């Protein structure tokens, strides 16, 4: 049995404005009907696979559980990192957690934001490497390159190894992201694979490798796992011990130092969606090279990506060539495909200027559901709030604002002061400034309401929580 270990704590910015720090790309539906995280979980499920172990950050823990529930999966564990420290500490934490019950547990470590169009072929590749991993070797997966890409690291096979083999091949070494000339030479050489960052190994193999090559990291992560505590079904790694954990990738910490590594060549299609031009390619361009989402229109366009994520916003492209245009409710990106890798520069610049759109997603996800801003002005703002069935907001009060709630779908159980009542569709209620209140959805369908806030200060930090189902401060 193989335990999938899914890494989904990243906060990638290269797919801004769809991917942001508060809601990164792995949780978005960039290609197909599922999020990248859901597609990864489904790909590593079924016969031969156990329930997944998830590594993520505190802001995403309820998003993880909600998205898994939508595809009817239950995790074996969700480990919460106090803060992201790259892939090496996350992988070691998973290995240590699994080894408590079974030191020889076979674990398949995979990022949760990759696109692999043929899940059956990928599962077959995993099976092809399982025997060597079970025997104590580290099996990494290399993608047979289709172009001299400078955005990936590479894996070099030993002389005589076969790039088209269906069994693991001996690995000579790792190559950092190359320049264009070096990438072209490696493609022509035929012994180099893209480094997918996917690994198959036993838990005790991973632990031994860290003890040997990164003893200080092993000590700090082991202390954090040993002092971990359970919280609402999540496992929180100890933050005090985690402070001593180095920020380092698995390649630097272990893989480039270990010996006797093998690589499983994979030829059936893969992409890490590291930029918008990659999303364009994965989206399946039409005969004119265009990829268009709903609410978009391409007129005399070629090689162009048009994507509208804003309800009620139609995006029209006329006479465009190799352009990326992405519209969100609060931000728009327009770039030439050749400049797609520079989106991160724009996010850095906006962050430096304190612009909210750089990192904050327009739809704010919460354990109970989500909300979004509809209008904002001096001393008022209007939100749409969606509360999941059976979920409830905290028992709370505000120092600086009053709230008016109008239910537009479903039924709300509303507590204001010492009075509780049910508010149905087309009914409203007023929550005065400073009064303790709570909102709950007692129904079986999502409840939707419009909230109008009025007051001198309308920030999200104007909240006093007296009681909370989700153990938030």
Say yes or no: 186 and 114 in one domain: yes
Domain annotation covers residue 448: yes
Say yes or no: 384 and 334 in one domain: no
Q: How far is CA 417 from CA 390, 395, 463, 471, in A?
A: 21, 10, 16, 22
Please give the pLDDT value at position 445: 94
Q: How many domains are contained in the chain? A: 3
Domain annotation covers residue 439: yes
Longest dimension (CA), the chain: 78
Q: Which pair of tokens denotes residue 324?
A: 């990326």
Say yes or no: 150 and 33 in one domain: yes
Q: What angle do CA 194, 200, 202 make, to 5 degrees?
A: 150
Please give the pLDDT value at position 469: 86
In residues, how long is the chain?
473
Say yes or no: 309 and 429 in one domain: no
Q: Which residue has the tokens 């934001």?
A: 113
Residue 34: is it exposed, middle or buried by C-beta count within 10 angstroms (0-12/13-18/19+)? middle
CATH assignment of the domain containing 20? 3.90.550.10
Domain end residue (candidates: 213, 237, 266)? 266
Say yes or no: 138 and 237 in one domain: yes
- Computed on alpha carbons and rounded to an integer, the radius of gyration of the chain in Å comes to 24
Domain annotation covers residue 351: no
Say yes or no: 262 and 290 in one domain: no
Say yes or no: 142 and 247 in one domain: yes
Domain annotation covers residue 26: yes
Q: Which residues contact 364 (CB under 8 A, 6 or more apart)?
A: 22, 370, 371, 372, 460
What residues form DSSP beta bridges with 437? 396, 416
Those residues of the chain that have pLDDT short of 50 are: none
Please give the pLDDT value at position 298: 97
**Is the Cβ–Cβ distance between 187 and 148 less than 8 Å?**
yes
Please give the pLDDT value at position 17: 96
Please give the pLDDT value at position 473: 65
Say yes or no: 199 and 320 in one domain: no
The DSSP output letter for 271 is: B
Query: Over the range 189-217, which residues count as b (16 or more CB within 10 Å of their CB) and which as e?
Result: eebbbbbbbbbbbbbbbbbbbbeebbeeb
Domain annotation covers residue 357: no
* Residue 277: φ, ψ to 5°: -70, -30
Give me the domain span that covers residue 314: 283-342
Domain annotation covers residue 271: no
Say yes or no: 144 and 220 in one domain: yes
Please give the pLDDT value at position 177: 87
Say yes or no: 200 and 298 in one domain: no
Domain end residue (candidates: 198, 233, 266)? 266
Domain end residue (candidates: 240, 266, 292)? 266
Q: Which long-range CB contacts under 8 A does 364-368 form with residues at least 24 apart?
A: 364/22, 364/460, 365/22, 365/23, 365/62, 365/63, 366/62, 366/393, 367/62, 367/391, 367/469, 367/470, 367/472, 368/392, 368/393, 368/441, 368/469, 368/470
Domain annotation covers residue 274: no
Q: How many helices (H) and strands (E) does the chain have?
A: 11, 28
Q: How far is CA 254 from CA 168, 199, 259, 261, 400, in A?
A: 19, 12, 10, 11, 52
Say yes or no: 337 and 417 in one domain: no
Please give the pLDDT value at position 431: 96
Q: Which pair of tokens denotes residue 452?
A: 């109008």
Say yes or no: 89 and 129 in one domain: yes
Q: Which pair of tokens denotes residue 385?
A: 């709030």
Domain annotation covers residue 388: yes
């Amino acid at each position: 049995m193989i335990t999938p270990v899914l890494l989904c704590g990243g906060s990638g910015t290269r797919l801004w404005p769809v991917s942001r720090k508060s809601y990164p790309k792995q949780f978005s539906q960039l290609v197909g009907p599922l999020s990248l995280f859901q597609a990864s979980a489904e790909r590593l499920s079924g016969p031969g696979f156990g329930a997944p172990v998830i590594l993520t950050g505190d802001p995403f823990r309820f998003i993880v559980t909600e998205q898994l529930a939508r595809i009817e999966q239950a995790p074996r564990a969700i480990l919460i990192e106090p803060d992201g420290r790259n892939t090496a500490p996350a992988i070691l934490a998973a290995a240590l957690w699994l080894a408590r019950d079974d030191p020889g547990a076979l674990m398949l470590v995979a990022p949760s934001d990759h696109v692999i169009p043929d899940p059956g072929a990928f599962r077959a590749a995993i099976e092809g490497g399982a025997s060597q991993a079970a025997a104590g070797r580290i099996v990494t997966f290399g993608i047979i390159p289709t172009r001299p890409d400078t955005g990936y690291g590479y894996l070099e096979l030993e002389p005589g190894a076969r790039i088209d083999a269906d069994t693991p091949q001996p690995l000579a070494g790792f190559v950092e992201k190359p320049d264009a000339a070096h990438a072209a030479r490696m493609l022509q050489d035929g012994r180099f694979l893209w480094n997918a960052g996917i690994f198959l190994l036993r838990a005790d193999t991973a632990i031994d490798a860290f003890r040997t090559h990164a003893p200080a990291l092993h000590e700090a992560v082991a202390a954090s796992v040993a002092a971990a505590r359970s919280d609402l079904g999540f496992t929180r790694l100890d933050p005090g011990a985690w402070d001593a954990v180095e920020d380092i990738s698995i390649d630097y910490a272990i893989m480039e130092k270990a010996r006797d590594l093998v690589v499983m060549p994979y030829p059936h299609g893969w992409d890490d969606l590291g930029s918008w031009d990659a999303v364009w390619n994965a989206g399946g361009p039409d005969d004119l090279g265009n990829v268009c989402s709903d609410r978009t229109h391409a007129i005399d366009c070629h090689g162009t990506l048009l994507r509208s994520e804003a309800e009620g916003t139609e995006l029209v492209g006329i006479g465009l060539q190799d352009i990326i245009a992405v519209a969100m409710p609060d931000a728009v990106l327009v770039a030439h495909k050749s400049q797609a890798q520079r989106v991160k520069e724009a996010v850095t610049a906006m962050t430096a200027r304190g612009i909210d759109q750089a990192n904050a997603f327009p739809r704010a996800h919460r354990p109970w559901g989500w909300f979004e801003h509809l209008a904002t002005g001096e001393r008022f703002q209007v939100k749409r709030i969606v509360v999941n069935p059976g979920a409830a907001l905290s028992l709370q009060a505000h120092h600086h604002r009053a709230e008016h709630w109008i239910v537009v779908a479903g039924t709300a159980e509303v507590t204001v002061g010492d009075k509780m009542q049910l508010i149905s569709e087309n009914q409203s209620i007023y929550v005065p400034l400073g009064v303790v209140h709570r909102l709950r959805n007692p129904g079986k369908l999502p409840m939707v309401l419009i909230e109008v806030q009025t007051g001198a200060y309308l920030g999200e930090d104007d909240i006093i929580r007296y009681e909370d189902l989700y153990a938030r401060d």
